[in-house]
Amino acid sequence: MPSRTCTQMELGNFPRLGWADVAPCMATDVRSAIEQVLEAQQGAALSREQCLFLANAEGDDLLGLLVAADLLRSELSGNIITYVVNRNINFTNICFVGCKFCAFSRGPRESDTYFLEPQQVADKAIEAWKLGAKEVCIQGGLPRDLPPFYYRDILRAVKSAVPGMHIHAFSPMEIVYGVELTAMTLRDYLCMLSDNGLGTLPGTAAEILDDEVRHVLSRNKLSTSQWTEVIRTAHTCGIRTTSTLMYGHVETPEHWVNQILLLREIQEETGGFTEFVPLGFVHTNTLLFHQGLSRPGPTLGEHLKIHALARLMLAGSINNIQVSWVKLNRGLSQLCLQAGANDYGGTLMEENISREAGATAGQYTSPEEFQSLIREIGRIPAERNTTYSRIQIKAPFESFPAEPLLEPEFA
Ligand code: SF4
Protein backbone atom coordinates (compact mmCIF):
# COMPACT_ATOMS: atom_id res chain seq x y z
CA MET A 1 0.00 0.00 0.00
CA PRO A 2 1.79 3.16 -1.11
CA SER A 3 1.87 6.04 1.28
CA ARG A 4 0.57 9.39 0.04
CA THR A 5 3.78 11.37 0.44
CA CYS A 6 3.70 13.81 -2.51
CA THR A 7 2.83 17.36 -1.74
CA GLN A 8 0.27 18.48 -4.24
CA MET A 9 2.02 20.00 -7.24
CA GLU A 10 0.57 22.59 -9.51
CA LEU A 11 -1.43 21.09 -12.36
CA GLY A 12 0.51 23.17 -14.87
CA ASN A 13 3.72 21.31 -13.92
CA PHE A 14 2.45 17.83 -14.68
CA PRO A 15 4.18 17.51 -18.09
CA ARG A 16 7.50 17.27 -16.25
CA LEU A 17 6.41 14.26 -14.16
CA GLY A 18 6.75 10.56 -14.99
CA TRP A 19 4.49 7.69 -13.90
CA ALA A 20 7.09 6.60 -11.33
CA ASP A 21 6.90 10.08 -9.70
CA VAL A 22 3.16 10.09 -9.30
CA ALA A 23 2.10 6.45 -8.88
CA PRO A 24 3.26 6.10 -5.23
CA CYS A 25 1.27 9.22 -4.27
CA MET A 26 -2.09 8.04 -5.56
CA ALA A 27 -5.03 6.38 -3.82
CA THR A 28 -4.93 2.62 -4.38
CA ASP A 29 -8.28 2.43 -6.19
CA VAL A 30 -7.37 5.10 -8.71
CA ARG A 31 -3.84 3.82 -9.26
CA SER A 32 -4.92 0.24 -9.84
CA ALA A 33 -7.64 1.32 -12.30
CA ILE A 34 -5.06 3.26 -14.28
CA GLU A 35 -2.55 0.41 -14.18
CA GLN A 36 -5.21 -1.91 -15.59
CA VAL A 37 -5.75 0.36 -18.61
CA LEU A 38 -2.05 0.97 -19.14
CA GLU A 39 -1.44 -2.76 -19.20
CA ALA A 40 -4.40 -3.71 -21.43
CA GLN A 41 -4.31 -0.47 -23.52
CA GLN A 42 -8.08 -0.87 -23.58
CA GLY A 43 -10.62 1.40 -21.94
CA ALA A 44 -12.88 -1.64 -21.82
CA ALA A 45 -10.66 -2.97 -19.02
CA LEU A 46 -12.32 -0.42 -16.71
CA SER A 47 -15.59 -0.99 -14.88
CA ARG A 48 -18.08 1.89 -14.62
CA GLU A 49 -17.12 2.26 -10.95
CA GLN A 50 -13.44 2.60 -11.87
CA CYS A 51 -14.32 5.22 -14.51
CA LEU A 52 -16.10 7.17 -11.79
CA PHE A 53 -12.98 7.02 -9.57
CA LEU A 54 -11.02 8.55 -12.43
CA ALA A 55 -13.64 11.18 -13.25
CA ASN A 56 -13.64 12.31 -9.60
CA ALA A 57 -9.84 12.28 -9.20
CA GLU A 58 -8.38 15.36 -7.49
CA GLY A 59 -4.95 16.43 -6.21
CA ASP A 60 -2.24 13.80 -6.64
CA ASP A 61 -4.74 11.35 -8.13
CA LEU A 62 -5.53 13.87 -10.85
CA LEU A 63 -1.83 14.44 -11.53
CA GLY A 64 -1.43 10.69 -11.87
CA LEU A 65 -4.36 10.52 -14.28
CA LEU A 66 -2.82 13.23 -16.49
CA VAL A 67 0.60 11.61 -16.54
CA ALA A 68 -0.92 8.18 -17.31
CA ALA A 69 -3.04 9.60 -20.12
CA ASP A 70 0.02 11.15 -21.73
CA LEU A 71 1.85 7.82 -21.44
CA LEU A 72 -1.04 5.96 -23.03
CA ARG A 73 -1.28 8.58 -25.78
CA SER A 74 2.37 8.04 -26.66
CA GLU A 75 1.80 4.28 -26.84
CA LEU A 76 -1.41 4.45 -28.90
CA SER A 77 -0.86 7.51 -31.09
CA GLY A 78 2.90 8.09 -30.98
CA ASN A 79 4.48 11.54 -30.85
CA ILE A 80 2.67 13.00 -33.83
CA ILE A 81 0.13 15.76 -33.33
CA THR A 82 -2.19 16.06 -36.30
CA TYR A 83 -4.29 18.92 -37.65
CA VAL A 84 -6.49 19.45 -40.70
CA VAL A 85 -6.41 22.46 -43.02
CA ASN A 86 -10.06 23.40 -43.24
CA ARG A 87 -12.55 26.25 -43.36
CA ASN A 88 -15.53 26.66 -41.13
CA ILE A 89 -18.65 27.95 -42.89
CA ASN A 90 -21.69 28.90 -40.79
CA PHE A 91 -24.30 29.57 -43.47
CA THR A 92 -26.80 31.40 -41.23
CA ASN A 93 -27.11 32.66 -37.67
CA ILE A 94 -30.94 32.61 -37.76
CA CYS A 95 -32.23 29.86 -35.47
CA PHE A 96 -35.49 28.99 -33.73
CA VAL A 97 -34.05 26.39 -31.34
CA GLY A 98 -32.95 28.79 -28.58
CA CYS A 99 -30.17 26.84 -26.82
CA LYS A 100 -29.27 28.73 -23.66
CA PHE A 101 -25.56 28.02 -24.05
CA CYS A 102 -25.45 29.56 -27.55
CA ALA A 103 -24.61 33.20 -28.21
CA PHE A 104 -24.34 32.75 -31.98
CA SER A 105 -27.99 32.39 -32.95
CA ARG A 106 -30.36 35.27 -33.74
CA GLY A 107 -34.11 35.62 -34.08
CA PRO A 108 -35.28 36.30 -37.66
CA ARG A 109 -36.04 39.99 -36.98
CA GLU A 110 -32.76 40.94 -35.32
CA SER A 111 -30.60 43.47 -37.14
CA ASP A 112 -27.44 41.41 -37.59
CA THR A 113 -28.84 38.24 -39.16
CA TYR A 114 -27.36 36.70 -42.30
CA PHE A 115 -28.18 33.82 -44.62
CA LEU A 116 -25.98 32.38 -47.38
CA GLU A 117 -27.40 30.86 -50.55
CA PRO A 118 -25.80 27.54 -51.62
CA GLN A 119 -23.69 29.31 -54.28
CA GLN A 120 -22.32 31.72 -51.64
CA VAL A 121 -21.28 28.71 -49.55
CA ALA A 122 -19.61 27.26 -52.64
CA ASP A 123 -17.75 30.54 -53.23
CA LYS A 124 -16.29 30.30 -49.73
CA ALA A 125 -15.25 26.70 -50.44
CA ILE A 126 -13.47 27.85 -53.62
CA GLU A 127 -11.56 30.50 -51.64
CA ALA A 128 -10.64 27.89 -49.01
CA TRP A 129 -9.38 25.45 -51.66
CA LYS A 130 -7.15 28.14 -53.13
CA LEU A 131 -5.67 28.63 -49.64
CA GLY A 132 -4.92 24.92 -49.30
CA ALA A 133 -7.98 23.68 -47.37
CA LYS A 134 -8.93 20.03 -47.87
CA GLU A 135 -12.14 20.17 -45.82
CA VAL A 136 -15.04 22.53 -45.29
CA CYS A 137 -16.97 22.20 -42.05
CA ILE A 138 -20.50 23.46 -42.73
CA GLN A 139 -23.08 24.02 -39.99
CA GLY A 140 -25.51 26.81 -39.13
CA GLY A 141 -28.61 27.90 -37.32
CA LEU A 142 -32.07 26.46 -38.07
CA PRO A 143 -34.36 29.07 -39.66
CA ARG A 144 -38.06 28.19 -39.73
CA ASP A 145 -38.54 28.79 -43.44
CA LEU A 146 -35.54 26.84 -44.72
CA PRO A 147 -36.11 25.41 -48.22
CA PRO A 148 -36.64 21.65 -47.71
CA PHE A 149 -33.64 20.57 -49.81
CA TYR A 150 -31.29 23.40 -48.80
CA TYR A 151 -28.71 21.08 -47.18
CA ARG A 152 -28.61 18.88 -50.28
CA ASP A 153 -28.30 21.97 -52.47
CA ILE A 154 -25.29 23.20 -50.48
CA LEU A 155 -23.58 19.86 -51.11
CA ARG A 156 -24.34 20.03 -54.83
CA ALA A 157 -23.06 23.60 -55.11
CA VAL A 158 -19.81 22.90 -53.23
CA LYS A 159 -19.09 19.62 -55.01
CA SER A 160 -19.75 21.10 -58.40
CA ALA A 161 -17.43 24.05 -57.64
CA VAL A 162 -14.64 22.10 -55.88
CA PRO A 163 -14.98 18.35 -56.49
CA GLY A 164 -11.90 17.47 -54.42
CA MET A 165 -13.09 19.18 -51.24
CA HIS A 166 -14.14 16.94 -48.34
CA ILE A 167 -17.48 18.11 -46.96
CA HIS A 168 -17.86 17.64 -43.21
CA ALA A 169 -21.32 19.00 -42.59
CA PHE A 170 -24.61 19.15 -40.70
CA SER A 171 -25.03 18.31 -37.04
CA PRO A 172 -27.49 15.58 -35.97
CA MET A 173 -29.89 18.44 -35.10
CA GLU A 174 -29.73 19.66 -38.71
CA ILE A 175 -30.22 16.12 -39.97
CA VAL A 176 -33.38 15.73 -37.84
CA TYR A 177 -34.60 19.09 -39.21
CA GLY A 178 -33.83 18.04 -42.80
CA VAL A 179 -35.82 14.83 -42.28
CA GLU A 180 -38.73 16.87 -40.94
CA LEU A 181 -38.60 19.34 -43.84
CA THR A 182 -38.46 16.68 -46.55
CA ALA A 183 -40.65 14.00 -44.90
CA MET A 184 -38.06 11.41 -45.96
CA THR A 185 -36.95 8.56 -43.70
CA LEU A 186 -33.74 9.18 -41.77
CA ARG A 187 -31.88 6.50 -43.72
CA ASP A 188 -33.07 7.76 -47.11
CA TYR A 189 -32.24 11.33 -46.16
CA LEU A 190 -28.69 10.43 -45.08
CA CYS A 191 -28.18 8.34 -48.23
CA MET A 192 -29.36 11.27 -50.35
CA LEU A 193 -26.84 13.58 -48.65
CA SER A 194 -24.09 11.01 -49.11
CA ASP A 195 -24.97 10.61 -52.82
CA ASN A 196 -24.70 14.38 -53.19
CA GLY A 197 -21.23 14.67 -51.69
CA LEU A 198 -21.50 14.57 -47.89
CA GLY A 199 -18.22 13.11 -46.62
CA THR A 200 -18.59 13.01 -42.84
CA LEU A 201 -20.93 14.34 -40.19
CA PRO A 202 -19.91 16.40 -37.13
CA GLY A 203 -20.99 14.68 -33.92
CA THR A 204 -22.02 18.05 -32.50
CA ALA A 205 -25.36 18.88 -30.83
CA ALA A 206 -24.45 16.17 -28.30
CA GLU A 207 -23.64 18.56 -25.45
CA ILE A 208 -24.51 16.17 -22.58
CA LEU A 209 -26.42 13.09 -23.68
CA ASP A 210 -28.77 13.07 -20.72
CA ASP A 211 -32.32 14.33 -21.25
CA GLU A 212 -32.58 16.04 -17.86
CA VAL A 213 -29.45 18.07 -18.53
CA ARG A 214 -30.54 18.69 -22.13
CA HIS A 215 -33.82 20.11 -20.86
CA VAL A 216 -31.89 22.75 -18.88
CA LEU A 217 -29.59 23.56 -21.81
CA SER A 218 -32.27 23.69 -24.51
CA ARG A 219 -35.91 22.67 -24.47
CA ASN A 220 -36.14 22.35 -28.24
CA LYS A 221 -33.02 20.35 -28.96
CA LEU A 222 -33.09 16.79 -30.21
CA SER A 223 -33.22 14.12 -27.50
CA THR A 224 -30.46 11.72 -26.52
CA SER A 225 -32.17 8.88 -28.39
CA GLN A 226 -32.57 11.01 -31.53
CA TRP A 227 -28.86 11.92 -31.42
CA THR A 228 -27.79 8.31 -31.09
CA GLU A 229 -30.23 7.21 -33.80
CA VAL A 230 -28.81 9.74 -36.28
CA ILE A 231 -25.25 8.72 -35.45
CA ARG A 232 -25.88 4.97 -35.59
CA THR A 233 -27.80 5.30 -38.86
CA ALA A 234 -25.10 7.49 -40.41
CA HIS A 235 -22.45 4.95 -39.47
CA THR A 236 -24.44 2.08 -40.94
CA CYS A 237 -24.89 4.13 -44.15
CA GLY A 238 -21.09 4.44 -44.36
CA ILE A 239 -20.97 8.06 -43.17
CA ARG A 240 -18.37 8.44 -40.42
CA THR A 241 -18.78 11.05 -37.70
CA THR A 242 -16.89 12.76 -34.93
CA SER A 243 -18.09 12.61 -31.31
CA THR A 244 -18.27 15.46 -28.80
CA LEU A 245 -19.16 16.35 -25.21
CA MET A 246 -19.68 19.87 -23.83
CA TYR A 247 -18.38 20.23 -20.26
CA GLY A 248 -18.19 22.94 -17.60
CA HIS A 249 -21.85 24.03 -17.26
CA VAL A 250 -24.48 22.11 -15.24
CA GLU A 251 -23.23 18.57 -15.68
CA THR A 252 -21.36 16.32 -13.22
CA PRO A 253 -18.43 13.92 -13.73
CA GLU A 254 -20.98 11.09 -13.78
CA HIS A 255 -22.47 12.56 -16.96
CA TRP A 256 -19.01 12.51 -18.56
CA VAL A 257 -18.59 8.85 -17.68
CA ASN A 258 -22.06 7.89 -18.94
CA GLN A 259 -21.52 9.71 -22.21
CA ILE A 260 -18.05 8.33 -22.90
CA LEU A 261 -19.32 4.81 -22.13
CA LEU A 262 -22.20 5.37 -24.57
CA LEU A 263 -19.80 6.55 -27.28
CA ARG A 264 -17.61 3.52 -26.64
CA GLU A 265 -20.63 1.24 -26.96
CA ILE A 266 -21.62 2.82 -30.30
CA GLN A 267 -18.04 2.56 -31.54
CA GLU A 268 -17.95 -1.13 -30.66
CA GLU A 269 -21.10 -1.65 -32.76
CA THR A 270 -20.25 0.50 -35.78
CA GLY A 271 -16.60 1.64 -35.74
CA GLY A 272 -17.86 4.90 -37.27
CA PHE A 273 -16.32 7.52 -34.98
CA THR A 274 -13.13 9.19 -36.20
CA GLU A 275 -12.37 11.15 -33.02
CA PHE A 276 -13.64 12.47 -29.71
CA VAL A 277 -13.65 16.22 -29.04
CA PRO A 278 -14.29 17.60 -25.54
CA LEU A 279 -15.80 21.09 -25.92
CA GLY A 280 -15.36 23.42 -22.95
CA PHE A 281 -18.40 25.61 -22.29
CA VAL A 282 -17.69 29.28 -23.10
CA HIS A 283 -20.04 31.05 -20.70
CA THR A 284 -19.37 34.78 -21.09
CA ASN A 285 -22.21 35.87 -23.38
CA THR A 286 -24.70 33.08 -22.72
CA LEU A 287 -28.16 33.10 -21.16
CA LEU A 288 -27.36 29.86 -19.35
CA PHE A 289 -24.72 31.65 -17.28
CA HIS A 290 -26.49 35.01 -16.96
CA GLN A 291 -29.66 33.33 -15.68
CA GLY A 292 -27.55 31.71 -12.95
CA LEU A 293 -28.14 28.20 -14.29
CA SER A 294 -24.53 27.19 -14.90
CA ARG A 295 -21.05 27.50 -13.49
CA PRO A 296 -18.70 29.93 -15.27
CA GLY A 297 -17.13 27.40 -17.61
CA PRO A 298 -14.64 24.67 -16.72
CA THR A 299 -11.75 24.97 -14.27
CA LEU A 300 -8.19 24.19 -15.37
CA GLY A 301 -8.51 20.83 -13.61
CA GLU A 302 -11.70 20.00 -15.54
CA HIS A 303 -10.16 20.94 -18.90
CA LEU A 304 -7.21 18.65 -18.29
CA LYS A 305 -9.19 15.86 -16.65
CA ILE A 306 -11.75 15.40 -19.43
CA HIS A 307 -9.02 14.96 -22.06
CA ALA A 308 -7.15 12.49 -19.84
CA LEU A 309 -10.30 10.60 -18.87
CA ALA A 310 -11.31 10.30 -22.52
CA ARG A 311 -7.89 8.93 -23.45
CA LEU A 312 -8.11 6.23 -20.79
CA MET A 313 -11.77 5.31 -21.24
CA LEU A 314 -11.63 5.32 -25.05
CA ALA A 315 -8.27 3.54 -25.39
CA GLY A 316 -8.51 0.95 -28.14
CA SER A 317 -11.90 2.29 -29.22
CA ILE A 318 -11.54 5.95 -30.28
CA ASN A 319 -7.83 6.67 -30.33
CA ASN A 320 -7.97 10.25 -31.62
CA ILE A 321 -8.66 12.80 -28.89
CA GLN A 322 -8.90 16.34 -30.21
CA VAL A 323 -8.43 19.66 -28.44
CA SER A 324 -10.75 22.52 -29.38
CA TRP A 325 -8.22 25.36 -29.65
CA VAL A 326 -10.96 27.97 -30.17
CA LYS A 327 -12.39 27.23 -26.75
CA LEU A 328 -9.17 26.49 -24.86
CA ASN A 329 -6.81 29.09 -26.41
CA ARG A 330 -3.34 28.06 -27.51
CA GLY A 331 -1.50 27.62 -24.18
CA LEU A 332 -4.19 25.47 -22.61
CA SER A 333 -4.49 23.46 -25.82
CA GLN A 334 -0.78 22.66 -25.51
CA LEU A 335 -1.35 21.42 -21.94
CA CYS A 336 -4.29 19.24 -22.98
CA LEU A 337 -2.11 17.80 -25.75
CA GLN A 338 0.17 16.64 -22.92
CA ALA A 339 -2.78 15.18 -20.97
CA GLY A 340 -3.88 12.56 -23.48
CA ALA A 341 -4.90 14.46 -26.63
CA ASN A 342 -3.19 13.94 -29.99
CA ASP A 343 -5.04 16.18 -32.47
CA TYR A 344 -5.22 19.96 -32.81
CA GLY A 345 -8.39 20.07 -34.93
CA GLY A 346 -8.72 22.42 -37.88
CA THR A 347 -7.28 25.74 -38.98
CA LEU A 348 -10.93 26.87 -39.37
CA MET A 349 -10.21 30.18 -41.17
CA GLU A 350 -13.55 31.63 -40.06
CA GLU A 351 -14.65 30.49 -36.60
CA ASN A 352 -17.82 32.26 -35.37
CA ILE A 353 -19.66 30.23 -32.75
CA SER A 354 -17.17 30.23 -29.86
CA ARG A 355 -16.13 33.84 -30.61
CA GLU A 356 -19.74 35.03 -30.23
CA ALA A 357 -19.93 33.24 -26.87
CA GLY A 358 -16.88 35.16 -25.65
CA ALA A 359 -13.89 32.99 -26.64
CA THR A 360 -10.77 34.99 -27.45
CA ALA A 361 -8.58 32.49 -29.32
CA GLY A 362 -9.37 34.04 -32.71
CA GLN A 363 -10.89 32.71 -35.90
CA TYR A 364 -7.90 31.11 -37.58
CA THR A 365 -4.71 29.22 -36.72
CA SER A 366 -2.41 28.88 -39.73
CA PRO A 367 -0.70 25.55 -40.49
CA GLU A 368 2.66 27.22 -39.71
CA GLU A 369 1.41 28.34 -36.29
CA PHE A 370 0.10 24.81 -35.57
CA GLN A 371 3.50 23.41 -36.52
CA SER A 372 5.34 25.81 -34.26
CA LEU A 373 2.97 25.23 -31.30
CA ILE A 374 3.40 21.48 -31.73
CA ARG A 375 7.20 21.68 -31.90
CA GLU A 376 7.24 23.91 -28.79
CA ILE A 377 6.04 20.91 -26.76
CA GLY A 378 8.52 18.53 -28.38
CA ARG A 379 6.09 16.71 -30.68
CA ILE A 380 5.93 16.15 -34.43
CA PRO A 381 3.40 18.11 -36.53
CA ALA A 382 1.50 16.31 -39.26
CA GLU A 383 -1.30 17.39 -41.55
CA ARG A 384 -4.13 14.88 -41.86
CA ASN A 385 -7.31 14.45 -43.82
CA THR A 386 -10.72 14.37 -42.12
CA THR A 387 -10.77 10.62 -41.49
CA TYR A 388 -7.09 10.31 -40.43
CA SER A 389 -6.51 7.90 -43.32
CA ARG A 390 -3.77 10.13 -44.76
CA ILE A 391 -1.15 11.82 -42.57
CA GLN A 392 1.73 13.95 -43.85
CA ILE A 393 4.51 14.64 -41.39
CA LYS A 394 5.85 18.17 -41.70
CA ALA A 395 9.52 19.15 -42.14
CA PRO A 396 12.04 18.92 -40.48
CA PHE A 397 10.60 15.44 -39.88
CA GLU A 398 9.24 15.19 -43.42
CA SER A 399 9.17 11.58 -44.53
CA PHE A 400 6.09 11.47 -46.72
CA PRO A 401 6.10 14.10 -49.45
CA ALA A 402 2.87 16.05 -49.72
CA GLU A 403 0.78 15.31 -52.77
CA PRO A 404 0.24 18.34 -55.00
CA LEU A 405 -3.14 19.96 -54.54
CA LEU A 406 -5.52 19.50 -57.46
CA GLU A 407 -6.78 22.61 -59.19
CA PRO A 408 -10.48 23.11 -58.50
CA GLU A 409 -12.92 22.80 -61.34
CA PHE A 410 -15.06 25.89 -61.21
CA ALA A 411 -18.70 25.65 -62.17
S1 SF4 B 1 -26.53 25.75 -30.74
FE2 SF4 B 1 -27.27 25.53 -32.85
S3 SF4 B 1 -29.38 24.84 -32.61
FE4 SF4 B 1 -28.79 25.75 -30.63
S5 SF4 B 1 -29.42 27.90 -30.76
FE6 SF4 B 1 -27.26 27.81 -31.42
S7 SF4 B 1 -27.39 27.65 -33.64
FE8 SF4 B 1 -29.43 27.09 -32.84
3-state SS assignment for residue 83:
strand
Q: Which CATH number fits domain 81-393: 3.20.20.70, 3.40.50.300, 3.50.50.60, 3.30.1490.20?
A: 3.20.20.70
How far does the centroid of ligand 1 lie from the alpha carbon of residue 395, in Å? 40
What are the helix and strand counts (H, E) for the chain? 17, 10
Closest residue by Cα to residue 343 from 401, 406, 386: 386
pLDDT for 262-318, tens place per residue?
999 999 999 999 999 999 999 999 999 999 999 999 999 999 999 999 999 999 999
pTM of the model: 0.93
Rg over alpha carbons for the chain, rounded to the nearest Å, is: 21
Closest ligand 1 atom number to CA of residue 101: 1
Q: In the chain, pLDDT over 70 holds for what percent of residues?
A: 94
pLDDT-based confidence at 61, cuts 50/70/90? very high
* Percentage helix, strand, coil for the chain under 3-state DSSP, each rounded to 5: 45, 15, 40
pLDDT per residue as tens digits for the range 114-138: 999 999 999 999 999 999 999 999 9
Domain boundaries, the chain: 14-77, 81-393
Contact between 83 and 343 under an 8 Å Cβ cutoff? The reply is yes
Question: How far does the centroid of ligand 1 lie from the alpha carbon of residue 142, in Å?
Answer: 7
Going from the Cα of 145 to the center of ligand 1, the distance in angstroms, rounded, reads: 16
Side chain identity at residue 49, one-letter code: E
Give ligand 1 pocket residues (Cβ under 6 A). Answer: 95, 97-99, 102, 104-105, 141-142, 173, 218
Residue nearest to ligand 1 atom 3, measured at CA: 97
CA 104 to ligand 1: nearest atom = 6
Q: DSSP of 12-78, one letter per residue?
A: GGGGG--HHHHGGGS-HHHHHHHHHHHHHT-GGGS-HHHHHHHHT--HHHHHHHHHHHHHHHHHHHT
Ligand 1 geometric centre to CA of 89 (Å) = 15
Looking at this protein, which amino acid is placed at residue 394? K
Per-residue pLDDT of 177-222, as tens digits, reads 999 999 999 999 999 999 999 999 999 999 999 999 999 999 999 9
| Ligand 1, atom nearest to 93 Cα | 7
For the beta carbon of residue 379, count every other beta carbon within 10 angstroms: 19
Out of 93, 96, 102, give the residue to mutate to test ligand 1, the one with the largest number of ligand atoms within 8 Å of its CB.
Answer: 102
Q: Of the residues 90, 142, 282, 355, which should be mutated to test ligand 1's pocket, given the most ligand atoms within 8 Å of the CB?
A: 142
Cα–chain center distance at 151: 22
From ligand 1's centre to the CA of 356, what distance in Å? 12
C-alpha of residue 90 to centroid of ligand 1, in Å? 11
